[in-house]
Amino acid sequence: MLIVRATTDITDRLRIKAGEAVVLRRVLRHMDGEPWSIEESHYPVALAASTALMDPDPVEGGDEVALGSAGHVEIGCVDELAARMPNPEEAQWFQAGPGVPLLVQLRTGFTESGPIRVTETRYCADRNRLVYSLGRRTGE
């Protein structure tokens, strides 16, 4: 957990002032001993200030539970998917071979009042596949 100055793409998505401070929470995930994903979530400081998001330890139940407990219930999100080449730090962490891109999922979460969270999750493309299910499937 860090407090950082938000980049323009984060301030635009959160609808906050340029350069405003945000709470950044980073999770480095492994699966079967291999680097799996890097997840970075950004929250407006004013919104996170009264929640467990300010604690550097993992939040029991996850960030969404912490927000919901403070009255900020996420009702929807917008996902943006892209691919790009990793920077040198990402390539080293993922132990990616030359020419292996990252899959990048950028999710903006919303309450009735507007955006509350921007989460960027990066996956190494040679060992991941993103699968979405939206809405209900018949017969289940």
Residue 133 lies in a domain: no
Amino acid of residue 65 = V
Q: Which residue has the tokens 């009042």?
A: 113
Strand partners, 83: 103
- Owning domain of residue 41: 2-124
pLDDT in tens, 42-77: 999 988 988 889 888 888 888 888 888 888 999 999
Residue 137 lies in a domain: no
Residue 15 lies in a domain: yes
Residue 139 lies in a domain: no
Residue 8 lies in a domain: yes
CATH assignment of the domain containing 101:
3.40.1410.10
Residue 104 has pLDDT above 90, yes or no: yes
111: enclosing H helix or E strand: strand 102-111
What is the rounded distance in angstroms from the CA atom of residue 112 to the CA atom of residue 65? 16
CB 29 within 8 A of CB 121: no
Looking at residue 124, what is its pLDDT?
94
Q: How large a percentage of the chain has pLDDT more than 90? A: 68
Q: How many domains does the chain have?
A: 1
Residue 25 lies in a domain: yes
